[in-house]
Amino acid sequence: MYIRINTELLSGLLGLALAAIFWFNIGDLGFLSAVFPNSVLLFLAVVSGLLVLVGLFAGEPVTIDMRGVIPVVFGIALLAIWWLGIRHVGFVTTSVPLFAILALVLKRRQGPLSLRDVITAVVVACVVVGGFFWVFSELLGIRPFRAPFP
Beta-carbon contacts of residue 95 (< 8 Å; ≥ 6 apart)? 82, 85, 86, 125, 129, 133
DSSP state of 136: I
Which of 62, 119, 149, 150 is the binder for another protein (CB under 8 A)?
Answer: 62
Which of 17, 20, 26, 119 is the binder for another protein (CB under 8 A)?
Answer: 26
| Contact (CB, 8 A) for 80 and 93 | no
- x/- string (CB under 8 A) for another protein, residues 73-112? -xxx--xx-xx--xx-------x--xx--xxx-xx-xx--
Which of 2, 4, 25, 116 is the binder for another protein (CB under 8 A)?
Answer: 25
Count CA atoms closer than 13 A to 63's CA, side-chain side. 4
| Contact (CB, 8 A) for 23 and 41 | yes
Distance from C-alpha of 44 to C-alpha of 14, rounded to nearest angstrom = 10
- Give the footprint of another protein on this chain (CB under 8 A): 5, 7-8, 10-12, 14-15, 18-19, 22, 25-27, 29-37, 40-41, 43-44, 47-48, 50-51, 54, 62, 64, 68, 71-72, 74-76, 79-80, 82-83, 86-87, 95, 98-99, 102-104, 106-107, 109-110, 124-125, 128-129, 132-133, 136, 140-143, 145-146
